[in-house]
A and B are shown apart, each in its own frame.
Chain A
Amino acid sequence: MISFGEVAKHGRGWLPVIGVNALIGSAVTLALPTVLGRSVDSIVAGTGYTRWLVVAAALIGLGIAASIVDAFAGAACVAETTAWLRHRLVRHVVRGGPGGTRDFETGDLVTRVSANATDAAQAGPALVTAIAAIAPPLGSLVLLAVIDPWLAAAFFGGVLLVILVLWTFAKRTADVSLAYQETQGRIAALLSESLTGIRTITAAGTTEREERRILGLLPELHRNGVVTWRILARSGAQAAVVGPLVLVAVLAVGGLQLVAGNITAGELFAASQYAVLGAGLGNLTGVLGELARAKAGVQRSAEVIAVEPVAHGTLTLPAGPGQLTFDGVSVVADGNVLLDNVNLDLPGGITIAVVGPSGAGKSVLAAVAARLRDPSTGQVSLDGVPLQAVSRRALRSAVGCAFERPQLVGRTVGEAIDPHAVSPIRTLAAARATHAHDFVSRLPDGYFTSLRKAPMSGGERQRLGLARAWSAGRLLVLDDATSSLDTATERQISRTLTEDRHHRTRLIVTHRPATAARADLVLWLDHGQVQAIAPHADLWHNTSYRAVFG
């Protein structure tokens, strides 16, 4: 989890600088009215005004220097905290594994890392600025009392009123900003969704209908937006009345004291300036608004940071053939039993086809075998070592996994296969083995073609997905990973797989009888339970087995 304080504290290096300069600024602000008042008095008196002029000029210079440093430090601090928070958010999403962020839409996560993180990063400076902004009004009170206690009394009542106004403001804005941000996130999620079906939408000419569907939320956003203005209007008006009232009270009391000869004209001027500073608490609305936004942003970030990273062990895998063992493995999600007490002991180096009707639990079994999901009970081991005990590095270099619909990640096509690409030869070998090379070589820039600018068919993506998994050392898990390939290509890849030179264990989820026939063993699943483990030929006489393939 992450809290407001933790985000605020992150600006450690900068916050003292911001704080000190803000304090210098406050001190100058407080001293200036007195100095200016004295200067005026000395001008009127006609003596000693050069000295006061020099003091005033020096004070103003100091204030300018402090605000220059402050302007720089504030922006730099926010920039650094934003980057820190964003790195952290990315890390939690990435390390949380496939299960970690299952409940979040991708578009919503992007909003959190792009927009909400910037808001959250204001936490530190906004807090320090808010504290420093409180100093001048409080100091003014003291200085007013020094000039004349009655002035302070008039001031004090006013400040209390101002605080009351601000307090109600901050509370409401946080709720409203959150509602506004949430609606925004939902619109973005709907848009992301439609963009995945852009070909269907364009073909059907339903662009306008999609537009209407997504924009259906716009009135809600509008309403939430209007409420923010209404709150701003109310507090703006309150501040506009409260501020001058305090000021006038101080001026009136000060004027009477002037008539009575208790204070000078310069002191009256200073008192009026201090009253303005007190009323300047009204300017805190901006800072408090920022605090409220930061609070909402921190909350949105905290929800992502609460995602626990997948824990990996520290063991390496001993030398072995890639023997895969399931020991009483069950997977239960939302009350549904997806895998029901599966016990398997699959010899290493062979091909096992996983078959079964849709919803039989084939993909869950594949995910558990590749540790993309942990069993609810039971344990999966590779060459005798439980997967959860293996270090991430050892696990991923031993186990490769390809999917029905791979999501490619990388700047270029080559990086999507192997981002580290220590040797282009390895990438090339994997691409050739999976026949990805055939089409990659036809792209404008080959392996350096930008992934975003290379629209690919499902089959092409699958080939890249296969190439990505190809370098695994011991176990290949293919979850329907060749379903979009044409049969000629599929056959060739299948042959490469069957004759795997590296003698890896191959767990292949498939719908095709030919693939099952070529496998050494078939694992037949139904309703999360193992129906049989036997060669295809032995099962083929069973009519319900044949029914699986239609």
Chain B
Amino acid sequence: MRRELSYGAAALRKRASVKLIGWSVPEILPTAVYGIAVARATDSFLDGHAWRGIAWLGGLVATACLGAAGARQVYGRLGELVEPLRDDLVRRVVGGALRSGDDGAVARLNRQVEIVRDTFAGLVLVLRSFAVTLFGVLTGLLSLAPLVAAFVVPPFLLGFVLSLAVLGMAADRVRASLTADEELAASAGMVFGGVRDISAAGTEEYAEWLAGQPIEAHAAAERALAKVSALRTLCFAVGGWLPLLILLAAGPWLIGRGVSTGTLLGGLTYVLIGLQPALNTVMNALGDSGLRYVITLGRILDTSTPAEESRPVAELNGYQVRLRGLTFAYGPKAEPVLDKLDLTIPEGEHLAVVGPSGIGKSTLAGLVCGMLMPTGGQILLGGAAPTEVATERLAGTRVLIPQEAYVFTGTARDNLRYLLPDATDHQLELAVKTVGADQLVERIGGLDAEVRPSALSAGEKQLIALVRAYLSPAPLVVLDEATCFLDPEAERQAEEAFARRPGTLIVIAHRISSALRAKRILVLDGNQATLGSHAGLMRTSRLYRDLHGSWT
């Protein structure tokens, strides 16, 4: 709560806020002057001074014009406060999502940022006008007749305090509604992304149910909130209508104490035109916008505060890879995926890693590339632990191409030079040709053509990712089944291109042909590992023989 409020307060620490408050004064002026003007004008008319009454009304018009100028400026300044806040939230959500890989972020981006934008604007607007109105009305009432103020203000404040108490009841329900909303985005994303598979499996009913559950949960939470909003209306009755009735009931007594008719009317006017709208809006704002603001912003801040990973910067000396008793398990209770693995991969080596799927080949790739922290033993890249090397330095030393190739909406050129942003077209064309993507690039429509990921096959995406890696300045290339969607001929061409490229090549092999092209082969089998040449492994490793036998 405190964090959310101080975030909002920080957004207000701007020149625009000062202007906002400054322009609020003329905006509220008509409200403050209203009762006095009506009281004085009425009394003037009653006394038969028509022109004096008109003059009072003329004063009201003048303040209304000031008010209009104020209103215009207030909304404009509000935009200046709110839009930067929204920009910052979008930045946080996008940044947080890219660092955590959390796909719930898409929901936060759409819905929740908008909620914070709207509620923040509403709160600023309302709290400001509540404070200013209250001030204006109090000043007006006191200058009119302190006795009237004594009847009006206490019940008004009572209603306000009661409505604050109702706020607490609403908080949990608002939270439930938001959780359901996020859940909906997640399951709808899953279902909408899998329409083909749902059709193929004939599980349309199930998919509808899956996405339907959070829809119902959301509706239930909103219905519960409807009850709270009814309760809030009751609080308004106390704060908004009770002062009016009390004033009416006390009317004869007040008149008897010398209060003028105009003053009594002025008092009623202040309640109806000043206090009631102010209370109504502030209650709606706090009860609805206020809660939504705090809860929604809390969720965004929770998930988007990037854990600042301050990598202790270790220096790299070459790109030799050394594993010493390397052990890794995905959880404290889980069986280790890699167990006490020892291996040295000298610079310029071409190594293939083979083994059944799920045996830990990708884990090994992740460890070598510094994406995972070993649970035991040591891994050294160029003499340093890869997780302790600055990101850019690491990216300049090794490049990892995972199975799921990443292609983004943008030109073919931007996609291809992703890892070497200042690559020339000549370099690009050469790499495209060497890796064997020339036909693809031609089909897309050349380097300047826009690439839409959804229009490419998995193999075509892999080709783009391969060209990109080929261009990378990093001497150590790790292909983690990066060619699995290519046909064997395309795979051969791509792998040979990488083999000719200076530096080390580690291929998590998908086909035995990949292994045959390598100088040395690492066979992973459960928590055992065997290293050797093809001929040697055919003699010594039973698993390798099995893999080879079936792998034709």
Question: B460 to chain A: which residues have CB within 8 Å?
Answer: 358
* Stretch from A319-327, A377-385, A402-410 at the B interface: A402-410
Asked if A75 is an interface residue, CB under 8 A from chain B, the answer is yes
Q: CA of A442 to CA of B105 in the docked complex: distance in angstroms? A: 29
Interface-side segment among B85-93, B130-138, B143-151, B373-381: B85-93
Q: Does the CB pair A403–B196 fall under 8 Å?
A: yes
6 example contacts (A-B, Cβ-Cβ < 8 A) are as follows A94-B207, A110-B110, A114-B188, A403-B196, A469-B201, A547-B489
Q: A43-B252, A87-B215, A192-B103 are in contact. Are A225 and B79 (CB under 8 A)?
A: yes
Chain A residues contacting B226 (CB-CB under 8 Å) are: 71-76, 79
Q: Of B48, B57, B233, which one neighbours A67 at CB under 8 angstroms?
A: B233
Chain B contacts of A184 at CB under 8 A?
109-110, 114
Question: Which residue from A191, A232, A484 sits with its C-beta under 8 Å from B75?
Answer: A232
Beyond the given pairs A72-B226, A191-B94, A241-B67, 14 more chain A to chain B contacts, judged by CB atoms under 8 angstroms and listed by A's residue number, are A67-B236, A76-B226, A200-B402, A237-B72, A245-B61, A251-B41, A255-B50, A255-B53, A357-B487, A395-B202, A457-B357, A458-B404, A488-B546, A550-B491
Cβ contact within 8 Å between B264 and A229: no
Report whether A188 and B109 are in contact in the complex, using a CB–CB cutoff of 8 Å.
yes
Which segment, of A2-10, A208-216, A527-535, faces chain B?
A: A208-216
B residues near A95, Cβ cutoff 8 Å: 204
Nearest first, the 5 A-B pairs at minimum CB distance are A197-B406, A396-B202, A550-B489, A229-B79, A75-B226
Q: Is the CB of B111 within 8 A of A409?
A: no
B394 at the interface (CB under 8 A from A): yes
Q: Tell me which residues across on chain B come within 8 A of A12, comparing CB atoms.
A: none
Task: Tell me, in angstroms, the Cα distance from A278 to B395 when the chains sit together.
Answer: 67
Assuming the contacts A49-B251, A483-B485, asked whether A197 and B547 have C-beta atoms less than 8 A apart, the reply is no
Q: Which of B87, B457, B490 contacts A222 (CB 8 A)?
A: B87
Nearest chain A CB to B450 CB, angstrom units: 13
Q: How far is the CA of A189 from the CA of B73 in the complex (A)?
A: 35
* Inter-subunit contact A82/B199 (CB<8 Å): no
> Given that A82-B222, A90-B215 are known contacts, is A240 also in contact with B67, CB under 8 Å in the complex?
yes
A316 in the interface, Cβ–Cβ < 8 Å? no
Is the beta-carbon distance between B403 and A457 smaller than 8 angstroms? yes
Chain B residues positioned under 8 Å from A71 (CB to CB):
226, 229-230, 232-233
A59-103 CB mask vs B (1 if < 8 Å, else 0) is 010001001111111111011101100110011011111101110
Binding-face segment, A139-147, A266-274, A339-347, A497-505: A266-274
Query: Distance (Å) between the CB of A319 and the closest chain B CB?
Result: 20
Q: Would you give the shortest CB distance from A108 to chain B, in whole angstroms?
A: 9
Contact (Cβ within 8 A) B218 A82: yes
B202 touching A408, Cβ below 8 Å: no
Which residues A156-215 have CB closer than 8 A to chain B?
184-185, 187-207, 210-211, 213-215
Given contacts A273-B272, A511-B488, contact A457 B362 (CB under 8 A): yes
Stretch in B2-10, B179-187, B342-350 touching the partner: B179-187
Contact check, B391 vs A205: say whether CB atoms are below 8 A apart.
Answer: yes
User: Does the CB pair A115–B207 fall under 8 Å?
Assistant: no
A452 contacts B by Cβ under 8 Å: yes
A203 touches B407 (CB 8 A): no
Q: Is there an interface contact between A53 and B114, defined as CB atoms closer than 8 Å?
A: no
A309 closest partner in B (C-beta): B204
Is A106 within 8 A of B193, CB to CB?
A: yes
- Among A199-258, those with CB < 8 Å from B are 199-207, 210-211, 213-215, 218, 221-222, 225-226, 228-230, 232-234, 236-241, 243-245, 247-248, 251-252, 255-256, 258
Cβ of B205 to closest chain A Cβ, rounded Å: 9
Q: Mark B73-86, 1 if CB is under 8 A from A, else 0.
A: 11110110011001
The reply to whether B404 and A245 contact each other, CB–CB distance below 8 Å, is no
Q: If the complex has contacts A191-B94, A487-B547, are A469 and B64 also in contact, measured as CB distance less than 8 A?
A: no
The reply to whether the CB of A401 lies closer than 8 angstroms to some CB of chain B is yes
The listed residue (B74, B212, B356, B406) touching A196 by CB distance below 8 A is B406
- Does any Cβ of A come within 8 Å of B269's Cβ? yes
Inter-chain contacts of B99 with A (CB < 8 A): 207
**Residues from chain B with Cβ under 8 Å of A247 in the complex:** 60
B401 within 8 A of A: yes
Contact of B68 among A101, A106, A107, A241 (CB under 8 A): A241
Does B335 interact with chain A (Cβ within 8 Å)?
A: yes
Q: How far is the CA of A118 from the CA of B229 in the complex (A)?
A: 18
Residues of A within 8 A of B458 (CB): 404-405
Contact of B199 with A193 in the complex, beta carbons under 8 Å: no
Is B419 engaged at the interface, CB distance under 8 Å to the other chain? Answer: yes
Closest chain-B Cβ to A162's Cβ sits at a distance in Å of 13
Bound CA span A115–B103, Å:
16
Q: Which of the four size classes fits the interface of chain A?
A: 35 or more
Chain B residues, Cβ within 8 Å of A87? 208, 212, 215
Do the beta carbons of A200 and B57 come within 8 Å of each other? no
Q: Name the A residues within 8 Å of B262 (CB-CB).
A: 265
Q: Are A203 and B197 in contact (CB under 8 A)?
A: no
Q: Who on chain B is nearest to A458 by CB?
A: B403
Would you call B369 an interface residue if the criterion is a C-beta within 8 Å of the partner chain's C-beta atoms?
A: yes
- Say how far B183's CB is from chain A's closest CB, in angstroms: 10
* Cα separation A221 to B207 with both chains bound (whole Å): 33
Is A420 in the interface zone, CB < 8 Å from B? yes
Distance from A486 Cβ to chain B, minimum over Cβ atoms (Å): 4
Are the C-beta atoms of A115 and B192 separated by less than 8 Å? no
Determine the chain A residues whose CB is within 8 A of the CB of B114 once the complex forms.
Answer: 115, 184
User: Is A40 among interface residues, defined by CB-CB distance under 8 A?
Assistant: yes
Contact of A114 among B107, B201, B492 (CB under 8 A): B107
Q: Is B371 engaged at the interface, CB distance under 8 Å to the other chain? A: yes
Give, as a whole number of angstroms, the nearest-CB distance from B229 to chain A: 4
In whole angstroms, what is the CA distance A114 to B178 when docked?
A: 11
A137 within 8 A of B: no
A101-136 interface with B by 8 A CB criterion: 101-102, 105-107, 109-111, 113-115, 118
Check A200–B401 contact: CB distance below 8 A: yes
Residue of A nearest to B354 (CB): A486
Contact partners of B394 in chain A: CB under 8 A: 205
CB distance B50 to A240 under 8 Å?
no
Residues of B193-240 whose CB lies within 8 A of A: 193-204, 206-208, 210-212, 215-216, 218-219, 222-223, 225-227, 229-230, 232-234, 236-237
CA distance A372 to B200 in the complex (A): 7
A318 at the interface (CB under 8 A from B): no
Query: In the bound complex, what is the Cα–Cα distance between A191 and B204 (angstroms)?
Result: 27
**Does B286 have its Cβ within 8 Å of any Cβ on chain A?**
no
Q: A111-B110, A488-B547 are in contact. Are A310 and B199 (CB under 8 A)?
A: yes
Taking CB as reference atom, which chain A residue is nearest B421? A209
Q: Which of A202, A486, A491 sits near B355, CB closer than 8 Å?
A: A486
Determine whether the beta carbon of A94 is less than 8 Å from that of B71: no
| Residue on A nearest B229 in the bound complex, by CB | A71
Which residues of chain B are near A73, meaning CB under 8 Å? Answer: 226
Instruction: State in angstroms the CA–CA spacing of A110 and B190 once bound together.
Output: 10
Chain B residues with Cβ below 8 Å from A111 are 110
- Give the distance to chain A from B489, nearest Cβ to Cβ, in Å: 3
Segment touching A, from B242-250, B292-300, B496-504: B242-250
The CA-CA distance from A407 to B211 in the complex, in Å, is 15
Asked if A233 and B41 make an inter-chain contact with CB atoms under 8 angstroms apart, the answer reads no
> CB-CB < 8 A to B46: which residues of A?
258, 265
Task: Tell me whether B540 is interfacial, beta carbon within 8 Å.
Answer: no
Complex CA distance for A114 and B477, rounded to whole angstroms: 42
Q: Does B505 contact A (CB under 8 A)?
A: no
Q: Does B400 reach chain A (CB closer than 8 Å)?
A: yes
How far, in whole Å, are A202 and B394 apart by their CA atoms in the complex? Answer: 11
B241 touches A259 (CB 8 A): no
Output the least CB separation between B196 and chain A (Å). Answer: 4
**Judging by beta carbons under 8 Å apart, are B249 and A53 in contact?**
yes
* A496 CB–B CB distance under 8 Å: no
How far, in whole Å, are A233 and B121 apart by their CA atoms in the complex?
13
The verdict on B268 contacting chain A, using a C-beta distance below 8 Å, is yes
Q: How far is the CB of B240 from chain A (nearest CB, A)?
A: 9
Contact between A237 and B71, CB atoms less than 8 A apart: yes
Are A230 and B76 within 8 A (Cβ)? yes
Interface hits, B18-36 → A, CB 8 Å:
27, 30
B216: chain A residues within 8 A (beta carbon): 83
